A and B are shown apart, each in its own frame.
Chain A
Amino acid sequence: MAFSLPPLPFDRAALEPVLSAESFDYHHGKHHKAYVDKVNGWIEEKGLEGKSLVEVIRLAKDRNDRALANQAGQIWNHDFFWQGLAPEGSTRPSDKLARLIEASFGGQDGLVEKMAEAAVGHFGSGWAWLVLAGDALKVTSLHDGDTPLSLENVKPLLTLDVWEHAYYIDYRNERPRFAKTVLGKVVNWDFVSQNIEQDSIAKADQLVDA
């Protein structure tokens, strides 16, 4: 029994030059894989047979098992992150999403700016998030391996990894340029639009024996 490393939903070179194929070799092939391998090594020891990833993240929290919460959370975060990316110009916001963006940020540029600000302002490792809270869009950030599963009454829509490994190959220390470029160019707006209507947390879920 094992969790699997979800494949990238695009070719590893499809987002160049915004994100290089080499960066995906490491980020997906090494970092994401290491989180999957780590949790798989705990399945018997921690009694995770037959569970879903989301169940594992929740039970890790209930058991106060930081190590499991971190590693399982990172599997989920990275899967969700990949799904929120797409080649430049290949997707666009639905009418409903466009209206929400307009109402909360005055337009797509405003959203990119606010989310980049959250990404840059986050100290240390973590994730910038766009979430739906009630009927308004909100931007926030979470630390280390934390996931939006822990947030009350919000639906995660889009995330940006701000661990240094996410940008050091292509952007070195320039987190602001990384955030603005990725959010401005290679967001999968179809994914974000669908998340408004659907159970978005389930999108990066999987069964242990999948």
Chain B
Amino acid sequence: MADQSLSATLPPLAAAGPVFGLPPLPYGAGDLKPVLSAETLQIHHGKHHARYVETLNHLLSDRPDAPRTLEAVVRAAQADGERGLFNNAAQAWNHAFFWESMRSKTSRPGGLLAGAIASAFGDVDALGRRFIAEGTGHFGSGWVWLVARGDALDVISTHDAGSPIVEEGVTPLLSCDIWEHAYYIDHRQDRAGWLTIWWSMLANWHFADRQYGAALGHGEPWRYPAPRAA
């Protein structure tokens, strides 16, 4: 299936299926400096993420019966073994979730989540070590996640475009991109350094708190913006 870095222009879209947008970054491209340069965010969002969304819309363009949420598209593609559609749909979703997982000023987890972290990992620093080790040990491209299964927390990694939303009952709370394109401009080969500074400087605990609330049944989890109807 077409890679996100394909430079050839795709033919114009005559969409019979849903058309998903590229959600804007929830901050300015320079706001996450010095951990992430403006150049990194511009390429990562404007080239990689944009390309996944573009390819996704292409693959859906002749499918008037495609599901009307990206979450459902990802799950259906996984269930049907449609690799190309899954890769692009899941990468579109994962990246939008990743942007939400970062904030220019990190904080600490709130009451409910802090309690769950204490009982599952001891404390936030121990969770951080677990998160960093999971990402550092992951061979190849992928994602590290803090997830809730029901009310229980876990740290997992997924390979390539893999996404925890295909698993019933799992709510992701935070995600860090460990494809090399996520950190190579600013941190070169140093994935451990990237994960360490990401954890201490960028992790968006307000977002994680809200996601954990949703996992417990209070409010809705984050969802990818709805598509334009065909």
Contact = CB atoms under 8 A, between A and B. Distances in A.
Given A31-B189, A144-B139, A164 B180 contact: yes
B14 interface: no
B5 A123 contact: no
Interface stretch (A41-49, A168-176, A197-205): A168-176
Contacts of A164: 141, 179-181, 184
> Is the contact region of chain B dominated by helix, strand, or loop, or is it mixed?
loop
26 contacts: A26-B189, A34-B189, A70-B139, A70-B140, A120-B3, A120-B6, A121-B3, A122-B3, A123-B3, A123-B83, A123-B160, A125-B141, A125-B180, A143-B140, A163-B180, A164-B184, A165-B189, A168-B184, A172-B43, A172-B47, A173-B5, A173-B43, A173-B181, A175-B5, A176-B7, A176-B8
Contacts, number: 71
A66 B47 CA distance: 32
Interface string A58-74: 00000000110010000
Given A123-B87, A125-B140, A144-B139, A176 B6 contact: yes
B72 interface: no
A184 to B, nearest CB: 15
Interface in A122-156: 122-125, 143-145
B105 interface: no
> Is the contact region of chain A dominated by helix, strand, or loop, or is it mixed?
helix
Name the interface size band of chain A. Answer: 20 to 34
Contacts of B6: 120-121, 175-176
Contacts of A122: 3
Nearest to A25: B188
